Amino acid sequence: MLYVIATPIGNPADLSPRAVAALQAVSLILCEDTRTSFPLLREYGINAPLRSYHKFNEQAAVGGVIAQLQSGGDVALITDAGTPCVSDPGYLLVKACAENGIAVTPIPGASALIAALSISGFNIVSFTFRGFLPRTEGKLRRVISDTLSEPSPVTVFYEAPHRILETVRVCAEEIPGSRLCLCNDLTKAHERIYRGTTAEVLEELSSNPNFAKGEYVMVLARDSVKPITEPSDDDTRPVSSYKKKRRRE
């Protein structure tokens, strides 16, 4: 069995009892950086062998892990923080397990994406997750401006602390009417949430001398969005009549 296990994004108390039990029972734990994972695992009395598994060795490491799983050993996959395979390595291993008939099970838990959405104050009927933003200004501006044409009213990004001020400045220039919930250092001692228009958040962020500390999750929301579905060209009925008929059915 391959266990895909979410680990805390900051507060170690967020590691679930089920996750602890699985990590104590497996024969191998794959983690991005053994130095990062070691203190958390030892705090919970988890002594299974650790092996580095990250985006730079993922392709080469999959074969050996599959062989170990096929020999009967259970393996756990974790990341430095949060849920594996979500803007983190792991999908190649999960894909290989599926192709080789090896069971995979998730042990859910912390996710910066879901945590930020849950406290955004926006109506999350649907959302788009874009992961980490591009580093060059031209590409950054295109990605930010493209959010105006997305069908989902909410878009989520991850951003590094040393780039966050410039990114929010680009948002204020490209999509000035949008609202932003900016989450910094979620679940940690210095957690801070910024709310307002992109311009208002930029002003508040700029006034914080410690803004470049801790990771960020950006939740952008628009008041108006294009409809997700539209009547086909050969449907001549008015939209309002069509909706009324559907309700009667």
> What percent of the chain lies above the pLDDT cut of 70?
89
CA–CA gap between residue 221 and residue 123 (Å, rounded)? 9
Q: Which of 107, 122, 155 is the last residue of a domain?
A: 107
Give yes or no: residues 192 and 169 share one domain. yes
Residues 171 and 196 in one domain: yes
Would you give the end-to-end CA distance of the chain in angstroms? 46
Average pLDDT, stretch 29-36? 96
247 domain-assigned: no
Distance CA 247, CA 53 (A): 52
- Confidence (pLDDT) at 237: 38
Do 28 and 129 sit in the same domain of this protein?
no
The reply to whether 117 falls in a domain is yes
What is the pLDDT of the chain when averaged over all its residues?
90
Q: 224, 185, 220: which is closest to 202 by C-alpha?
A: 220
pLDDT value of residue 246: 39
pTM of the model: 0.84
* Residue 248 located in a structural domain: no
Residues 120 and 99 in one domain: no
Q: Are residues 20 and 97 in the same domain?
A: yes
- pLDDT at site 63: 96
70-86 per-position pLDDT tens digit: 999 999 999 999 999 99
DSSP for residue 7: B
**pLDDT band, very low/low/confident/very high, at 210 (cuts 50, 70, 90):** very high
Domain shared by 157 and 70, yes or no: no
Whether residues 127 and 64 fall in one domain: no
What's the structural domain count of the chain?
A: 2
Q: What's the confidence (pLDDT) of residue 223?
A: 62
140 and 73 part of one domain: no
Confidence tier at 177 by pLDDT (50, 70, 90)? confident
163-191 mean pLDDT: 96
Whether the predicted pLDDT of 89 surpasses 70: yes
pLDDT at 9 over 50: yes
Domain of residue 157, residue span: 112-221
| Tokens standing for residue 200 | 């208002």
Q: How much is the pLDDT for 222?
A: 85
The pLDDT of residue 192 is above 90: yes
CATH number of the structural domain spanning residue 94: 3.40.1010.10
Contacts of 242 (CB under 8 A, 6+ apart): 231, 235
Other beta carbons within 10 angstroms of residue 61's beta carbon come to 18
Please say which residue of 107, 140, 161 terminates a domain. Answer: 107
Angle at 210 between CA 206 and CA 213, to 5 degrees: 115
Alpha helices in the chain (DSSP H): 17-25, 34-43, 58-70, 91-99, 112-118, 137-146, 164-174, 198-206, 239-248
pLDDT at 163 over 70: yes
At 156, phi and psi to the nearest 5?
-120, 135
Q: What is the pLDDT of residue 191?
A: 96
Domain membership flag for residue 41: yes
Confidence of residue 240 (pLDDT cuts 50, 70, 90): very low
- Which of residues 107, 136, 166 is at a domain's end? 107
Residues 13 and 97 in one domain: yes
pLDDT digits over 40-68, tens only?
999 999 999 999 999 999 999 999 999 99
